Amino acid sequence: MRESGLDRRLASLPAKVVLPSLIIGTVDAEVLIIGGGYAGLSAGALLARSGIDVLLLEASSRPGGRAAWEEREGFLLEHGLHDNRFAERGAAAAVFRKLGMELEFLELGETELWDGDSFVPLPAALTSILRSPLLGPRDSAAAARAFLPLALLPPRRLYHRSLEEILGKRPRPRVKRLLSLLSGLGIIAPDLHEASAGEFAAFLQKAMRSPRRAGYPRGGTRAIIEGLRRALEENGEIRTGTRVERIVPRKGRIEEAVSSQGIFRASAVISAVPVQTLPSLLDRRDIPTLFRRMAEEMLPTAGISLEMALSAPVSERRGLLVTDDPFSMGQFTSNIDPSAAPPGKQLISWFQPLPFALMDDGEAVRREEERMRALLRKMFPGIEEKAEWERIMHLRMVDGFLPSPGQSRPRRPGHRVEGLENLFIAGDGTAAMGTGGDAAIYSAMEVSGLVRSYLGA
């Protein structure tokens, strides 16, 4: 580790001298990254691979952010449900290719809908959507009117409209149900009033070009996080347990970041914390009003995540499983990747999105949790009797933004902050393409290029 001039001066002080706990040392780097989720790790890995000296600060005890993982009694737990959209043509695969690395994806089984008393196939391709048995004989024309504009029009023409508007004033119930299910799966927005038609169109059009709608990385999110970590540490450093408390600008540049572990300086700074929290790190006078308002008012997706470690299998299904009342989805992760559970046992991961405003109502969230459990008991009789233990999480932030018309791509913060020339923004709350982990990684790819240009200039 590099030793700064201040470090040397501190080492020379008499032992009886007591220093303020805040100022422990000063570390210099070419690029300082705040936050070690997908965005921070991806940006750091790309910059380190290009020969740039990187220091990443992560508040928690290990990197990963909302994609963190842990091992418990032989089970591999992730922070919720983490399939990767489009598998080899998705964001994680793209950043690994840029790093000269390979990410292997395991094949998912068929996506299925619980239709009251049994599972039925849920269509993925446009042709199968329009011919789906979930539609009635008189629904084809209405389905075509709804789906064809989403498949053919440029997303930029639809960002400001909701999927509810696309359906019209008198939508056919089965068409509405199918669109809600696909929007919930694709962009985690089953409420058509809240779902941006442009965001869903961008997803649908990419899905039409991709051989697979989703894949599961062998080894889960651990494979992604550890791969990015190794690439970053080839020419950089990760410090965990280091929470940045404020960043200090002077004369239009970020001069230092202050944390409980020291003061850190760099030529360029990347904020990879949730965009909603960035304004709290700066003085209100140092951040443009429009940017601050966009960041502070942005609503994330939220919901309930439930994982069960099962003593014996209750299902052989390998695909994503979906319900629509309430909308929820999940999978038997160990059926896809056997390393996720000990031999003879099974791991199920389930997620139900909820409105962000509902998360403050503990009783309402508990009612929704019980609804989800009741569905699991109905779909998989005996599941609770075979549960060795479970992990339930009430998550106030799943993805950084709800893909609504008011928070569609043109209406989210960009990757730069006016008036702060060396501050860059990465994360799934920025104006990157995609949602969730895709947006986080694509934003990092964009920001890494901006930082390289800035340092070169």
**122: its two tokens:** 């849920």
Given the candidates 3.90.950.10, 3.50.50.60, 3.40.50.720, 3.20.20.80, the CATH classification of the domain at 5-64+222-298+413-456 is 3.50.50.60
Q: Which residues neighbour 332 within 8 Å (Cβ) at sequence distance 6 or greater?
A: 313, 315, 317, 318, 346, 347, 348
The answer to whether 435 touches 188, Cβ cutoff 8 Å, is yes
Q: What gap in Å lies between CA 414 and CA 420, rounded to an integer?
A: 13
Q: What gap in Å lies between CA 52 and CA 45, rounded to an integer?
A: 10
CA 281 to chain centre: 22
Q: What gap in Å lies between CA 383 and CA 313, rounded to an integer?
A: 9
> Which residue's entry shows tokens 């498949």?
151
Dihedral of CA atoms 339, 341, 342, 343 in degrees, nearest 10, equals: -80
**317: its two tokens:** 């299904």
Where are the domains positioned within the chain? Answer: 5-64+222-298+413-456, 83-107+214-219+299-395, 125-209
What secondary structure letter does DSSP report for 65?
A: G
pTM of the entire predicted model: 0.92
The answer to whether 310 touches 346, Cβ cutoff 8 Å, is yes
**Among 327, 294, 279, residue whose Cα is nearest residue 408:** 294
**107: its two tokens:** 């094949």
First and final C-alpha spacing in the chain: 27
The answer to whether 112 touches 186, Cβ cutoff 8 Å, is no
Q: What gap in Å lies between CA 128 and CA 108, rounded to an integer?
A: 18
Q: What is the pLDDT of residue 1?
A: 39
Q: Which residues neighbour 309 within 8 Å (Cβ) at sequence distance 6 or greater?
A: 72, 73, 75, 341, 345, 347, 387, 388, 389, 390
What is the chain's pLDDT, residue by residue, as a tens digit (457 residues)? 344 333 433 343 333 332 333 344 566 899 999 999 999 999 999 999 999 999 999 999 999 999 999 999 999 999 889 999 999 999 999 999 999 999 999 999 999 999 989 999 999 888 899 999 999 988 999 999 999 999 999 999 999 999 999 999 999 999 999 999 999 999 999 999 999 999 999 999 999 999 999 999 999 999 999 999 999 999 999 999 999 999 999 999 999 999 988 999 999 999 999 999 999 999 989 999 999 999 999 999 999 999 999 999 999 999 999 999 999 999 999 999 999 999 999 999 999 999 999 999 999 999 999 999 999 999 999 999 999 999 999 999 999 999 999 999 999 999 999 999 999 999 999 999 999 999 999 999 999 999 999 999 5
Q: What is the pLDDT of residue 137?
A: 86
**48: its two tokens:** 């380190």
Whole-angstrom CA distances from 11 to 5, 25, 26 are 10, 10, 13
What secondary structure letter does DSSP report for 31?
A: E
Q: What is the pLDDT of residue 27?
A: 63
Q: What gap in Å lies between CA 409 and CA 299, rounded to an integer?
A: 14
3-state secondary structure of 109: coil
Q: What gap in Å lies between CA 275 and CA 284, rounded to an integer?
A: 15
DSSP string computed for 306-336: EEEEESS-S----S-EEEETTEEEEEEHHHH
Q: What is the pLDDT of residue 25?
A: 53
Report helix angle 221-233 to 38-49, nearest 10.
Answer: 40
Q: What gap in Å lies between CA 81 and CA 64, rounded to an integer?
A: 14
